[in-house]
Amino acid sequence: MINGGCSDDGFDYFRGWLITQGRETFERVIADPDMLADLPAVRAFAADGIDIECEDALSIAWTAHQEATGEELPNDAFTIRYPEPDPRAVSALATTVRCMLRPLITTIRENDDAAGFLAWPGDFDLDQSDHVEEVHLASGAALEGFAGDGAGGTYFFCGNGGEERPVLYADSEGGAALVAIGMPELLRLLLVAPWWRDCRAFTAEESAELTAEYLEDMPDLAVRRDRAAAALSLALPTEAEVLARLRKVATEEGKEFVLIFTPANEPYDLLIKG
């Protein structure tokens, strides 16, 4: 969740900031809140652990009216009318919010469907968070290992904050890539395309071949994936969408997250190239 959760005032201030980003961005976020992760400002705030807010934006109408007329804005100036909420929608939203406030890492540890799929084919182990060698980010930002895979790779949170932080993956052979902005995006990648490490060309043909290989060994993959997604309260994108997002994160946002092999002060190789 934005700002790691917030008070009523904090949410108002976040809405004020969102309004200042312009109508196009505002309407895109209303239609698809997850696209917030694509905004450079959001990525920068998340990396630095800074709350996203703009309280001043909420008083624009008052200030403009006062400067133009010299008078206070009348109390009845607003004519917004809100429809009566659908009780079923309110109940569903309350359930979703409770799930979102619960850390995803906690949910994984306590849910067999989620933990089982992520263990395999996801090859994602929360008990394996120590990397094989000493590393740091070139920017000097904090780096926190929180999971690993069977081949000695490690998933790191970058910067300060919670599960909204960018996620960098480093393998055991000197390669690294930024793979997600936040834990939800990482889990969508692991659920939809657990074979992402084998992607090289990022073409439809390559994806079809990798998918067929996994389905041959695991015919119930889709059923298990959907159960895991439900346990984590995650809506899943298509395979094409999740891989396109992975490539964008790795090749664009990833430029700001260079992993360094500390003893030699040498950067890791790029796992995913543009």
Assigned domain for 44 exists: yes
Assigned domain for 60 exists: yes
CB 205 within 8 A of CB 197: no
**Predicted confidence (pLDDT) per residue in 8-62, tens digit:** 777 888 888 888 988 888 888 887 787 787 787 887 777 777 888 888 888 888 7
The 3-state secondary structure of 209-248, one letter per residue: HHHHHHHHHCCCHHHHHHHHHHHCCCCCCCHHHHHHHHHH
Instruction: Name the region of 141 (left: φ>0; alpha: ψ -120 to 50; beta: rest).
Output: beta
Task: Let me know whether 73 and 147 are in one domain.
Answer: no
Its domain, for residue 65, covers: 2-82
How far apart (Å, rounded) are the C-alpha atoms in residues 38 and 245?
9
Overall residue count recorded for the chain in this entry: 274
Domain termination residue (choose one: 14, 47, 82): 82
From first to last of its 274 residues, the chain has per-residue pLDDT tens of 555 556 777 788 888 888 898 888 888 888 778 778 778 788 777 777 788 888 888 888 878 888 888 888 787 776 666 677 777 666 556 655 655 567 999 999 999 999 999 999 999 999 999 999 999 999 999 999 999 999 999 999 999 988 989 999 999 999 999 999 999 999 999 999 999 999 988 888 998 999 999 999 999 999 999 999 999 989 899 999 999 999 999 999 999 999 999 999 999 999 998 7
CB 180 within 8 A of CB 186: yes
Task: Let me know whether 134 and 188 are in one domain.
Answer: yes
Whole-prediction pTM value? 0.68
Task: Let me know whether 119 and 219 are in one domain.
Answer: yes
Task: Let me know whether 125 and 214 are in one domain.
Answer: yes
Task: Let me know whether 110 and 148 are in one domain.
Answer: yes
Domain termination residue (choose one: 51, 82, 113): 82
Number of structural domains the chain divides into? 2
